[in-house]
Amino acid sequence: MNSQSNSVDNAERWESAMFLYHAALKNVKTKIDILNGEFKYIHNYNPIEHVKSRIKSPDSIMRKLQKNNHEVNIKNMVQYVHDIAGVRIICSFVSDIYKISRMLMLQSDMDIVQVKDYIAQPKPNGYKSLHLIVRVPIYMASGMVDTKVEIQIRTIAMDFWASLEHKIHYKFDGQAPEHIAADLKECADIVARLDARMLSLNDTVQNANRERQISFSGFFVNTEGGSSDEEE
Ligand code: 0O2
Among 16-25, 156-165, 166-175, 216-225, where is mean pLDDT lowest? 216-225
Q: Model confidence at 228, in pLDDT bands (50, 70, 90)?
A: very low
pLDDT value at residue 43? 76
* Residue 91 phi, psi dihedral angles, 5° rounding: -115, 170
Nearest atom, ligand 1, residue 64 CA:
38
pLDDT value at residue 11? 85
Identify any residues that bridge with 153 across adjacent strands, giving them in sequence order: 89, 130
* Residue 80 phi, psi dihedral angles, 5° rounding: -110, -20
pLDDT value at residue 219? 64
Percent of the chain topping pLDDT 90? 70
Which residues are near ligand 1 (CB < 6 Å)?
56, 60, 64, 82-83, 116, 123, 125, 127, 131, 162, 165-166
pLDDT value at residue 141? 87
Distance 166 CA to ligand 1 centre (A): 10
Q: How confident is the prediction for the chain on average, in pLDDT?
A: 90
Contact by Cβ (8 Å): 32, 51:
yes
SS3 54: strand
pTM: 0.88
Distance 68 CA to ligand 1 centre (A): 13
CA distance 30 to 156: 21
Cβ burial of 18 (10 Å; 0-12, 13-18, 19+) is middle
In tens, the pLDDT along 103-124 reads: 999 998 999 999 999 999 999 9
Q: Is the pLDDT of residue 217 over 80?
A: no
